[in-house]
Each structure stands twice: as C-alpha cells, then as structure tokens.
Amino acid sequence: MHASRKPAEATPPRLGPLATLPIFLNLAGKRAVVVGGTAPAAWKAELLAAAGADVVVCAPTLAPEMSELLAGGAAAGSLVHQARQWDAADLTQSAIAIADLDDEEEAQAFTCAARAAGVPFNVIDKPNFCQFQLGSIVNRSPVVVGISTDGAAPILGQAIRRRIETILPPSLAMWGRLAKALRSEVATQLPPGAMRRTFWERLADRSFGSAPKATEELHLRASLHEIAQQADREQGRVTLVGAGPGDAELLTLKAVRALQSADVILFDDLVSPDILELARREAKRICVGKRGHRESCRQDDINDLMIQLAHDGRHVVRLKSGDAMIFGRAGEEITALANAGVAYDVVPGITAASGMAARLGISLTHRDAAQSVRFVTGHGRHGALPENLDWRGLADPNTTLVVYMGGKTARAFANHLLAEGLPRRTPVVAVSDVSGPHEQRWLGVLKEMASQFPMAATGAPVVVGIGQVFRKAGRCEQLRHVDPCVPGRPARTQDVLNGVSLPGVRELVETMT
C-alpha cells in the first residue's frame, strides 16, 4: 500500500521578464508626423495611416516609394506632404512621431523636440533614439498581431510573422468585425465570468473555419439568448485532455484550446511545466498527482473534486500525460461524471508508445517484422505485475509489445515472456521521460532485460518496447545509450558498441548484422 495525498493547489507561474511591453495604440483621427521622404519612411507613413492617423510627411525631397504612396492615398486616415524641413512646431499636438535621419545630431535634436512636446518618438534603425519599436505585423483587422524581438533579430520577427500568417485564416478579420458588433450586447446580457466566456468560446470555435455566413449573426444572437436563459441553471463541464508524452509541441490544437478556456486544471505529476504554461493564466491549477510506487492522490478524491467543481459551474480540464484513454483510468472518471450528471468530452493525446516510436524513428507495425501491436501495463493494482495477463499471447514473436509503467517490473515481465518461449535475443528498447528534457534510452535483448535492467533506477516513467521492429534501433544514429550511473549523460555510440556502459550490446549488434 502506498500513502495517499490530497489534491493540492499549485501556484501559477509568474510572468517572465518582458524585453518590451506590447501596447496597441489607437490613432484614429489623431495627428502623426513622419520626418523624411525615404522608402523606410514611406512604409511607416503607410502603417500610421492604415491605423487611422492623419499623417503629415515633412520632407524636402521624396523617394519614388513615398511619391507613390502620397499619390495613391491611404487605406484609412489621411496623408499630407509638406515639402520642407521639419521643425519643433510640427510635433505639437501630435500623437506619435517617426523620423528617418542619418545625421546623429539631427536625430538627437528630433528626440529632444519630441520629448519637449510629450510625443512618443522613433528614429528608424537608431535604437538609442527610440521610445518605442515597431515590430512585424499580422493584419486581420480588427484582429492585429504584433511581433517584437526588441530589435535583436528583425529577420526572426519576419519569419515568425510568416508562420503566423499561414495559421490565421483571412476570414478571421470578418469574425473579428462580427465580434466587435456583438460586444456591447454581450456585455449587457451576460455577466462577467463563465457565461460570458462560454459565448465568446462558441464564437472563437467557429472563427478558425470558413468565413461567417450571412445568417451567422442571427445564430450568435440566438446562442447569446440561450446562454442568458441558463443563468439560473448554470452547469459546468469536464474535459479530459491528453497532454502527450512530455514535449509541449506534441499537444493537439484542441488540447491547447481546452487549456485556454479552463477555469480549473487538475493535472498529474508527469505533466510538464511547459504544457501548463500554455494554459489560461487565470485558471486555478490543482495537482492531483498519481505515480506508481509513490504517494498519490486517491482516485475517488479526484472524481469527487471534478464533480464538485463542475457543479459549481466551472469548466474543469483533467490533464493527463500521454493519451487519457490509455492506462489513464479515464474510464473510472467518465463513469463517475456520467453518474453525477456532469457533461464531459475527451481530447485525445499522443500516447507514450507513439512518442517513443517517433523518437526512435521506428514503425511499430513494420510489415517485415510485426503484424500487430499490443499495449500492456506492467503496473497492476497493487504495484506488481497484473495477475491476469495473457502471457502466451504476449509472447507472439510477430507482435510488437509496448509495456507502459514497466520500469519496476521489467525483469519479471521478461522472465514470463522467456518462459513462454519468446526468443532470448528478441530486441528490447526502454525509454524514460519520452520526449522530455531528461529522456534516457536503453538498448538490449530480452535475456538481458530479465537479468539486469538499469532503467528501473531512473525514477522516471519508463516505456519498454519488445519485438523485432526494434532491431533497427541498433542502426539508428539518433539512439544514444545513457549510463544510469550518470543521469543525463549520453554515452558515445562507440561506448555502446564496446559494451563499456551496457554489457552484451556487442552481442546484440552482431545478431543484427
């Protein structure tokens, strides 16, 4: 028996240091000054006018780009050219001032005049003469995304912009305008909190699809009315989310959206801080750790907490490592929720077996080596091997076998397979902390696993792969054996082949060639 513990609220991570503070400035109908007629100045003038500013361009001469801009006019705001040098009076009553000046003394004079007038200023490509920076922009107005690298890497900022451009559909602008049209009505009909957030989540769920239809506003107003009518019978819900094997980049988009909409997150010990960092910052985080052979929260306590929070009208995210529906006791939680009348849904995650296969570059069902794959737990109800495993079926040489939570019971597991006739030299791979920052790997054969299994001492969750598909792991360049005596230190490939860290590996490799 292992000691139990109670769910414990975790302190959300503090906001890390910011190189700059992103601020979105409303310039509609306000005066803006651009000094210089160069191509860079033209881009800044166009940007300010697009934001609705009345832009005054002070420049004796104009580059072709600026002449073309002035002749064509702005998408919004206005553009006026004054063919002369700037002076301090130009900055009076201005909301913002930008200049393209090569001369350091003139740049200094410009910043002094702007300070005296109380105007935020920027001298292009001269960070020492800037109160603010203009980063890369993704325009889905009224949705606007600004990207800054604090002047350190403008090309990186542009690359990030290109990536975001591919993610955000052009129709997002139409959804943004629709949201703006409904904003005051939502504020009037729905109180702040869960109900209002429910409405905006419904709109957000649709906004990444096709453009809104002509009837969309009517449908959203009906949805608004429906939510408002439920004020007296507000119910929460639970979302079971698979967090994947460890790497935050392996989360699904749907999982991220669930984390961003959660009121409360009940998370396991194995969920990485990087994944929790993606959650809505206001969400309460409660650790309900469940670890084999360690002090864990009782499943009944977790079930009761989920139900209580949902009855309080909260959106609860039950965040589990890997896939919630594979060895995650999700079945017990779903039964408890259904019996309590709590609505729930499930967001699948990448299970540890898939994560391990991807990391090793190995297909679990390579047709030359396996006709099926089986997932099995190495951790029974009382910590030992489950009592009712079909050992004869598991010893099928044409099946890839993946053992979850198999670190402590690996030797006993291997001995059962050997007793059923599985060849002693069947390849074995074990990976702990799959895709995580402390991932370790071990390569061996079944007879070695039965006599010695160093991964059992890592303390991290271990996934064991057994079968002929792992024969290719011996040739895989990215596979590095980790000496369990020195955690985190990858041994050189030559060390592995010489058997320095792992006795018997040379014999294994010889059987593979």
Class of domain 353-512: alpha beta
Q: What are phi and psi of 118, to 5 degrees?
A: 70, 35
Alpha-carbon distance 31 to 84, whole Å?
A: 18
Structure tokens at 11: 């302190």
Give me the chain's average pLDDT, please.
84
Q: What is the pLDDT of residues 279-290, one digit of tens each?
A: 988 889 999 876
Note if 268 is an active site residue: yes
Provide the edge-to-edge strand list for the sheet that holds 31-35: 78-82, 54-58, 31-35, 96-99, 121-123
Note if 290 is an active site residue: yes
3-state helix/strand/coil string of 118-148: CCCEEECCCHHHECCCCCEEEEECCEEEEEC
User: Which of 104, 121, 160, 107 shows the shortest CA–CA distance to 137?
Assistant: 160
Section 345-356 average pLDDT: 94
Alpha-carbon distance 123 to 34, whole Å?
A: 10
Give residue for tokens 């994947």: 244
| CATH 3.40.50.300 at 31-134, yes or no | no
Q: What is the pLDDT of residues 59-112, one digit of tens each?
A: 999 999 999 999 998 888 999 999 999 999 999 999 999 999 999 999 999 999
Alpha-carbon distance 135 to 463, whole Å?
A: 44
Alpha-carbon distance 30 to 439, whole Å?
A: 56
Query: Mutual orientation of helices 64-72 and 39-50 as an angle, nearest 10°?
Result: 20
Q: What is the pLDDT of residues 384-421, one digit of tens each?
A: 788 888 999 999 999 999 999 888 888 899 999 999 99
- Of the candidates 30, 90, 263, 290, the residue annotated as catalytic is 290
Is the per-residue pLDDT at 305 higher than 80?
Answer: yes
- Of the candidates 268, 323, 433, 483, the residue annotated as catalytic is 268
| CATH 3.40.1010.10 at 237-347, yes or no | yes
